Structure 1
């Protein structure tokens, strides 16, 4: 990615020490997303990753914001990948392990056919890769072809990219 977009993200990202627990340096992207220029710039950069995709999937919750903006830019639809229990049945779901338990992701199974669709996954942060890997599995189980994943920020020390191999992953800023 270009140094310009990386610099923009870095300059607009708020650092919050000791959140959500002591020793964690939280990277808050809210100021970037609340800025019209910042949002437009990251939308354009993420949209470059969507060539050939006919559906954008945003992961709950900031991925919804970014995914919708990218889908509009590309002229595609957007699919919200929700946390478990947020959608009425029937749903496609996948449960995956977290370092402190498990979580579930869901998409509608009725009224939405994504078989054969080429899907780009969008999210704000790639950390351990568990949620993104679960999203890939969920979309694949529903019959879609995941073309790649694109995120604003990658926390490289957590090595989430390796969990997604061989999927193409684009990060606008790696820290």
Structure 2
């Protein structure tokens, strides 16, 4: 199956000139979703993580399924005000502003090996901020895994020094 055929492209969303890669169409197709998770698991198995960290919101879907497949734990990284326990936060730049993400202070134990997973690598800001949170808690970032990578936004540059893998690449 060609996974790219399962992803909807929406022009001028969220702003004019952007092509949004919508994975909801892939998620609803059981064969495509299974193939995507199986393919990510194949890439991930060499890392042998203790935890998979997924970023709100689509990173939860992919990350939790991947953690289950790998037999390890899952840690959600959320937007502010969503986590009920003590947390740490990290701010990061977006193409059009700034945002903040948070994680519980006990989500990662010192020395745990972590795989950071998200649906899409664009500029790398969210991913870099997530790595900063993991490292503040004493975790070791093994690699980043993405379903989609937007090559022209050069998100890998912000993640230099880390392993970065993606299933699908778009110019």
TM-score class normalised by the smaller sequence: over 0.9
Query: What residue in structure 1 maps to residue 27 of structure 2?
Result: 33
If the length of structure 1 is used for normalisation, what is the TM-score? 0.91
RMSD: 1.3
* Matching of residues 66-145 of structure 1 within 5 Å: 66-110=62-106, 112-145=107-140
If the length of structure 2 is used for normalisation, what is the TM-score? 0.93
How many Å apart are 1:23 and its aligned residue? 1.7
Q: Which runs of 5+ in 1 are unaligned?
A: none
Q: Which runs of 5+ in 2 are unaligned?
A: none
Residues in 2 aligned to 1:49 and 1:119: alpha-carbon distance in whole angstroms: 14
Per-residue Cα deviation, 1:71-126 (whole angstroms, up to 9, x for no partner) = 1111101000111221124102111222332211111114x442111000110000
1:123, 1:151 within 8 Å by CA — same for their partners in 2? yes
Residues in 2 aligned to 1:148 and 1:113: alpha-carbon distance in whole angstroms: 15
Residues in 1 aligned to 2:156 and 2:33: alpha-carbon distance in whole angstroms: 24
Residues in 1 aligned to 2:15 and 2:154: alpha-carbon distance in whole angstroms: 20
Runs of 4+ in 1 over 6 A off after TM superposition: none
Per-residue Cα deviation, 1:43-84 (whole angstroms, up to 9, x for no partner) = 111112323111101111000000111011111010001112
